[in-house]
């Protein structure tokens, strides 16, 4: 069964569903409480096998169960693209608030890029549905265009670079002093 396409081509897998019942099922959660199955996926070319343990409150078709990992792939693809495009995983955070702020701002930036790219793809299809030879606009390409055409280039003048170097080294010095004070305090407390 072809379960979708991705950047590297189509996903071709063989799927199987096996009903399973656990020996340690608590009372009141028996067979009539839902359906528990093992979903097995085998890649048609590499023969790599993956397993998914699934539970549903009622009977479920194989097609419905297969659609769930496919949705998960889309979510994982979006997170990977957010990491690559907006550096979701590059935040150097030291506390809960800064982690939340970094995650929110990067996800908002990625949502903007993904939505704008999707709108442009839709508009392009409406303008010229027979357009061939072009890959659809991606969030990566849109960011590249924004950086080149709209966003101002970074300053490279000598004074600016020296000012930032001084600021960075001063900040690192203060952080090092605070770190040493904290370790000295932590080592003396009982």
Q: Domain spans of the chain?
A: 2-21+32-86
- Angle formed at CA 47 by CA 5 and CA 3, multiple of 5 degrees: 20
Question: What pLDDT, on a 0 to 100 scale, did the predictor assign at position 170?
Answer: 95
The Cα-based distances of 104 to 24, 107, 110, 143 in angstroms read 41, 5, 10, 18
pLDDT tens by residue, 166-181: 999 999 999 999 988 8
Question: How far apart are the C-alpha atoms of 190 and 187, rounded to whole Å?
Answer: 8
Predicted pLDDT at 158? 92
Cα distances (angstroms) measured from residue 4 to each of 53, 66, 158: 21, 11, 51
Maximum CA extent, the chain:
75
pLDDT tens profile 32-79:
667 888 899 998 888 899 898 888 888 888 888 888 877 877 788 888
pLDDT score at 109: 94
Q: Is the pLDDT of residue 24 over 70?
A: no
Query: Model pTM greater than 0.75?
Result: no
Please report the beta strands in the chain, taking only residues with DSSP state E, as ranges in sequence order. 2-6, 9-19, 35-43, 49-56
Which SS3 state, helix, strand or coil, does residue 151 take? coil
């Amino acid at each position: 069964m072809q379960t979708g396409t991705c950047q590297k081509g189509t996903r071709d897998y063989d799927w199987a569903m096996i009903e399973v019942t656990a020996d340690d099922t608590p009372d009141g959660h028996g067979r009539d409480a839902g359906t528990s199955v093992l979903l097995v996926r085998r890649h048609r070319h590499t023969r790599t096998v993956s397993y998914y343990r699934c539970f549903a409150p009622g009977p479920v078709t194989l097609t419905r169960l297969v659609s769930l990992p496919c949705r998960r792939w889309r979510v994982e693809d979006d997170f990977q693209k957010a990491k690559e495009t907006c550096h979701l995983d590059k935040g150097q955070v030291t506390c809960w608030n800064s982690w939340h702020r970094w995650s929110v701002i990067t996800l908002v930036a990625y949502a903007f890029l993904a939505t704008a790219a999707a709108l442009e793809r839709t508009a392009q299809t409406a303008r010229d549905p027979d357009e061939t030879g072009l890959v659809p606009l991606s969030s990566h390409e849109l960011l590249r265009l924004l950086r080149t055409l709209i966003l101002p280039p970074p300053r490279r003048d000598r004074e600016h670079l020296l000012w930032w170097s001084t600021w960075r080294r001063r900040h690192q010095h203060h952080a090092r002093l605070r770190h040493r004070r904290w370790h000295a305090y932590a080592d003396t407390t009982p």
